[in-house]
Amino acid sequence: MKKILKRIGIVLGSLIELLLIAGVVLYLMGQARMNKVYTVEPSNLTLPTDAESIEYGRHRAETLCQGCHGADLSGVENWFTAPPIGRIDSANLTSGEGGLGADFTTEDYVRAIRHGIDQEGKPIFMVAVPATAQLSDEDLASIIAYLKTIPPVDHVVQERYFTPLSYIMFAVGMLGDMPAEVVSHDAHVTAPERGVSAEYGEYMVNTNDCRVCHGPNLNGGKSPDPTATWISPNLTPGGELAFWTEDEFINTLRTGITPSGHQLNDNMPWKDYRNFYDDELKAIWLYLQSLPKLEQYTE
Ligand code: HEC
Ligand code: HEC
């Protein structure tokens, strides 16, 4: 009896040892990925100075950046927080205390918005980067030019914090990929001419984060938040939108209420999108209607 117990003890002991070793290896792998330094050549953008371009930059920031960085762009505390994983505040984009505006160069903005990396070349956890990386040079330059004009707001946000467990979760793929790992680090991006065309609608869908939530093929997708469980609806003609008119689509994005009277919840950022221009919404509508009819994504 004693012998058997001893043997079980030895087996258990070595199992625990193996698990510990595996944990340490995974921890180191996750840490290496999350702290990898990327060397990219950020495009050398020339910032516009005319009022029209800066107003366009304001418009894009209002519809695309404010949802996560706050109405005054001074950052949102606990933008992501889950005690077993960690905590991320979104950055204060102004030049006030705690803001990065005062010492960010144009290249630093390009690194963050197009490449998903910080001043040191390390990945940032801004889930919108796969979308913002596709902004054309001209549009990105307008946004940066606008950011340089916003009033300073004193708001000290905290450095992001990750638990040791999160490194292991990263290594085994439970937290998805980091934007810097998935975006193409190509230097120049162009946009189709602005207007009511399906082509421009596609550009708007790509540069706003529709695909981050509605999936790469827009037939619905999993929440980008690993702690949430919702699946978003199908935006192709295989979904409810097949029965909507253009007016109803525009009305839904402006009011958050669908033609069938359903109030969209806050996971869908319609409060930001309601500020899209009519022509932008019409272009998005044309593009969505031109998509192949796909079935609703399920897990
Ligand atoms: C889906 C939410 C989301 C959207 C949309 C978003 N951001 Fe962010 N952004 C974040 C979060 C969260 C961080 C902090 C990331 C971190 O600390 O790793 C961040 C960080 C940044 C940083 C700091 C990068 C650094 O070096 O630390 C800049 C600059 C930035 N965002 C600019 C923008 C601009 C400009 C837009 C609009 C074009 C935008 N963001 C849209 C969530 C968002
Ligand atoms: C952060 C995640 C997120 C992003 C980004 C997002 N959506 Fe949504 N969207 C959702 C969720 C979740 C719902 C379902 C909400 C509900 O039913 O209460 C939804 C619902 C919708 C609906 C209603 C569909 C229906 O069948 O009722 C439309 C239309 C829509 N989104 C369009 C868009 C467009 C266009 C974009 C990009 C400009 C976009 N969404 C970006 C999460 C998102």
Question: What residue's CA is closest to ligand 1, atom 11?
Answer: 90
- Does 4 have pLDDT greater than 90? no
Structural domain includes residue 171:
yes
Structural domain includes residue 93:
yes
Say which CATH number the domain at 130 has: 1.10.760
Structural domain includes residue 27:
no
- Does 5 have pLDDT greater than 90? no
Residues 77, 168, single domain; the answer is: yes
pLDDT digits (tens, 9 = 90+) for 31-42: 999 999 999 988
Q: Could you give the CA distance from residue 107 to residue 18 in angstroms, rounded to a whole number?
A: 45
Which domain-ending residue is among 182, 211, 240?
182
* Sign of the four-CA dihedral 225, 217, 194, 47: positive
Average pLDDT, the chain: 95
Q: Could you give the CA distance from residue 17 to residue 130 in angstroms, rounded to a whole number?
A: 40
Residues 56, 172, single domain; the answer is: yes
Tokens standing for residue 232: 């978003």
The 10 Å Cβ neighbour count of residue 243 is: 10
Which domain-ending residue is among 182, 214, 242?
182
Which domain-ending residue is among 123, 154, 182?
182
Residues 175, 204, single domain; the answer is: no
pLDDT band at 246 (very low <50, low <70, confident <90, very high): very high
For residue 89, give its domain range. 51-182
Structural domain includes residue 222:
yes
Mutation probe of ligand 2 site: the residue of 268, 275, 287 with most atoms within 8 A of C-beta: 268
Structural domain includes residue 29:
no
Residues 121, 211, single domain; the answer is: no
- Does 187 have pLDDT greater than 80? no
Residues 115, 218, single domain; the answer is: no
Residue 240: which of 221, 222, 255, 262 has the closest Cα? Answer: 262
Residues with CB under 6 A from ligand 1: 61, 64-65, 67-69, 79, 88, 90-91, 93, 100, 109, 112-113, 118-119, 124-128, 132, 143, 160, 209
pLDDT at residue number 233: 98
Q: Could you give the CA distance from residue 246 to residue 290 in angstroms, rounded to a whole number?
A: 13
Read off the pLDDT of each residue in 284-289 and give the average, rounded to a whole number.
Answer: 98
Q: Which ligand is nearest to the CA of 68?
A: 1
Residues 63, 116, single domain; the answer is: yes
**Torsion angles phi and psi, residue 32, rounded to 5:** -65, -40
pLDDT digits (tens, 9 = 90+) for 75-118: 999 999 999 999 999 999 999 999 999 999 999 999 999 999 99
Q: What angle do CA 201, 215, 41 make, to 5 degrees?
A: 75
Question: What residue's CA is closest to ligand 1, atom 2?
Answer: 68
Q: How many domains does the chain have?
A: 2
Residues 161, 257, single domain; the answer is: no
